[in-house]
Structures are given as structure tokens and as C-alpha cells.
Structure 1
Amino acid sequence: MMNIGPIAALLMAALALPAQAQDGEGRPRLRPVGLGSTTAAPAAEPAVVPAPAAAAPAPARIAPRQDVSLPEGPVRGPETNLPLPRFVSLSTDRGNVRRGPSLSHRIDWVFLRRDMPLQVTAEYGHWRRVTDREGVGGWMHYAMLSGVRTVIVDAEALPLRAKPQETATIVAQLEAGVVARLGDCEPDWCELSAGGYKGWAPKSLTWGVAPDETRD
């Protein structure tokens, strides 16, 4: 067997290596490694692992809808079952108006005009909460009140006419503050009687009758 010296061995090892590409000047040409390189193995992309699905929350229990029905028609008093508010009149020459619905409550006002119109706004037992044209009021015993209807004149001078028409003949004229007995009422006119006279007057010029009230 031939004995190969160290120099020859190195020479043979060099010849066994693959030839490198060279540039025009005889230098080895380096092939860049990176994006777009065909010689570099692509870097492994990080695996995208979906997060475990959270447990779906239990559906909320929705209470069944409850429709709130409003009372139909006018509000009724708990004691009389009559509409509230409503108009009445003072049946005495002196009516004590108290702070609460009992004799133990102090007297705040005293009404001194018989037949004056009042408005009832609440009921409690034998007591009624009332107000006058000025908004003054309190609690009065029902025995001091009457269902007889009256109005008080709000105008400086209120002509009473023979018919519910602006062109009708004037039969009398009422001064401001006069209390008149209430008769029939149309949408805009009411029949009044006072001082022995009777006639029609615009509803809007009196206090003691509701704007939409009609009577016959």
C-alpha cells in the first residue's frame, strides 16, 4: 500500500470539496442568506395556538314583562267614589279649614262666605281637602260642604247674555267677585243666575267649573 504524505493528504482533501462559485475577478461569490434566499432554511413561524374557548355564560333569566295598566276615566275619591278633583260650595257662613283631617289639627283658615265655590282634591273619612280660587285651603268636615254648584266671577265686569252668543242681548252685568249659581254649561258658555237675573256668560271668565265640563 502506497504511503501518502501529509501534504498529499491535504491536497486530496481540498480536491474533494465542492467548487465555490466565483465572481468575475476570481473571488468566491457569497450568496446572501435571508428573506428570499433559496439556500437558507426558512425560520419556523411561531405556532398560533387558539386559546381554549371560555365556557359560555348561562343565559340570563328575563322576568316576563308586566304591563302596568293605568286607571281608565277620572280618579275617584275613596270615600264617595265621586271624581277628583271636583267642585262643591260652602254650605255655612263659617267654615274652619284645618291643617289635617281631624279636629285635633290646628285651624289655618276660616271661610266666611256661604255658597263660595271650592274644589275638592282629596278625601279621608269624613274630611275633604279643599282649595279656593286663590289656592288657599286645607281640610274641612264634609258637613260644611254642599253639592250645589256655584261660580265666582273672575272678570272686572261680566255681562250676562240672553243666549250663549257674543251678539246676544245683555240682560245684566256682574262685578268681579260675585258668586253666581251655576246652571247648564256648553263647551264655552255657562248659564248663571245671581241677584234675580239669569243669563249666559263665557266659561273662561268664571272660577268653579272645569274647562271641559258640560251640564244640562
Structure 2
Amino acid sequence: MPLPLLMEALHMKRAPLVLAILLALPAGAIAQSDSRPAARPAAVQVPAATTDETPEGPVVSRFSGKPVPRFETLRWAEVNGRTGPSLSAPIAWQYNRKGLPVMVVKESGEWYRVRDPVGDEVWVHMRMLAEGATAIVTRTTILGNSPARDAEGVAEIGKGVLVQIHSCDTAVCEVETGGYRGWMPRANLWGATGAPAASAGTKG
């Protein structure tokens, strides 16, 4: 009997409304609007950002007191990603996926520069993020009913599916999605770094 297949397209962000309007305009109108010089935003003074990582590993941010880089999740279903650490910075795009894991790679005051699962980076306000344990499946994977390599399959989880992480060890994570719970290789999960450690009885 074939396993249930969970698939989920990785549609997680969209362009700002102004870009959508431009794309809907005739080519001549777009060319005419592009010919006008764009107004330059006023300079914004921001604190110096931390470095991504030292040769010894993550650093502790002097702003949040947390390690950088690290994973957090989007708190809301709509989160603006900006080109700079300020509300006056243009919106690059809007994320539309609550719980999406992102990697915090820099901090500047209350603003975090984050990297999403496809490698793009933008700035978001710290209030838009939450500590959580989620991950994106990076390749189609069989969800096992135990952490053993020869475990019986529970479901087939497609690339791009968002999963909730319950615990991880160095090789596998116990996850849940779409009503299914089981284990899959940690290497197939983007965002599993820093996930909750497995308890002593997890593999029983």
C-alpha cells in the first residue's frame, strides 16, 4: 500500500504591491516611469551590526544577547522584509508563511537581518520573529515510525513542507506535519540547527 504523500509548494513571499502594479502596466508605461529619477531616502543612522560568525563559531550579539547566527521563526502570516534596518527602508518583499524558519545572520538594534530557506536576505523587526522549532524539508523524505534506519514508513513528505520539530539528535529529528508524526534525517531539514535535544528516552 503506497504511503500518504504530503506536498507543499514553497510559496513563502511575494513582491510589494508597487511592484505588482508595475508588472501589470503596459511596457511603455513602465519604461516611462523608469525614466524618472528615483528619490533617494534620507540617511538613517543605525548601530553597527554584529558579524555573521567568527572562525571559532557563532558570536553573542551585544543587542539581543543571543548567538548569531541562529534560527527563529516568523511570528505572523504577513511579515515585511526590508532592504535596510529601518521602517523607512523600502520593502523588498512580504513573507506569507507563519512559522517559516529564518536564520538571523546580523543584528542592528531592534532589527535583524535574516536569511530565508532559498538564501535571500532582508531586514525584519525583532517583533516579527519568535523562538520556535520548525524546519523546511529540503528533499522528499520518508517519515519513519522510529529513529532506526530500517523504520517502517509513516508518510512521504515532499520538498518544501513545513514541519514542527519535537526533538533532534545528531542524525535524526522527530517532527510532525499534516497530522503525521515520526522521524526523518536531520540533514534533510533546513532550520534544524538549534532544535530541542532529544531526551534520553526518545529512541526507546
Q: Could you state the TM-score of these two structures normalised by the residue count of structure 2? A: 0.66
> Where does structure 1 lack aligned partners over 5 or more consecutive residues?
1-69
What is the one-letter code of the residue matched to 1:198?
A: R
Structure 2 residue ranges without an equivalent (≥5): 1-53, 199-204
Partner in structure 1 of residue 66 of structure 2: 82
- Code of the residue aligned with 1:100 in structure 2: it is G
**Closer, same or farther in 2 for the Cα pair 1:207/1:73, shift >3 Å?**
closer
Contact 2:103 2:114 (8 Å CA) reproduced: yes
- Equivalent position of 1:181 in the other structure: 164
Q: Does residue 101 of structure 1 match 2:85?
A: yes
Picking from 89, 95, 108, the partner of 1:111 is 95
CA distance in 2: counterparts of 1:138 and 1:126, whole angstroms: 14
Displaced runs of 4 or more, over 4 A: 70-73
Q: 1:24-173, aligned counterparts within 5 Å?
A: 74-155=58-139, 157-173=140-156
SS at match of 1:215: coil
Cα distance between partner residues in 2 of 1:213 and 1:97: 24
Deviation sequence 1:157-187 (CA, Å, 0-9, x none) = 2111111122011122211111001121111
Offset of 1:71 from its aligned partner?
A: 9.1
Structure 2 residue matching 1:139: 3-state secondary structure: strand
Structure-1 residue corresponding to 2:183: 200
CA distance in 2, matches of 1:119, 1:165: 29
1:50 alignment partner in structure 2: none
- Please list, as runs of the form range in 1=range in 2, the aligned pairs for 1:201-216 lying within 5 A after superposition: 201-210=184-193, 215-216=197-198
Identity, % of aligned pairs?
37
Residue 128 of structure 1, CA deviation: 0.7
SS of the equivalent of 2:167 reads strand
Partners in 1 of 2:187 and 2:55 — Cα distance?
A: 29
Offset at residue 115 of structure 1 (A)? 0.9
Q: What whole-Å deviation, never above 9, does each CA across 1:58-114 have from its counterpart, x for those lacking one?
A: xxxxxxxxxxxx897630112111111001111111111111111011111211111
User: Please, what is the CA RMSD of the aligned residues?
Assistant: 1.9
Q: Which has the larger radius of gyration?
A: 1
Higher normalized contact order (CA 8 Å, seq sep 6+, divided by chain length)? 2
Letter in 2 for 1:140: V
Counterpart CA distance in 2 for 1:81 and 1:158 is 36
Q: TM-score, normalised by structure 1?
A: 0.63
CA distance in 1, matches of 2:55, 2:115: 25
Equivalent pairs, count: 145
Quickly say closer, same or farther: Cα 1:71–1:154, change in 2 above 3 A.
Answer: closer
CA distance in 2, matches of 1:74, 1:135: 19
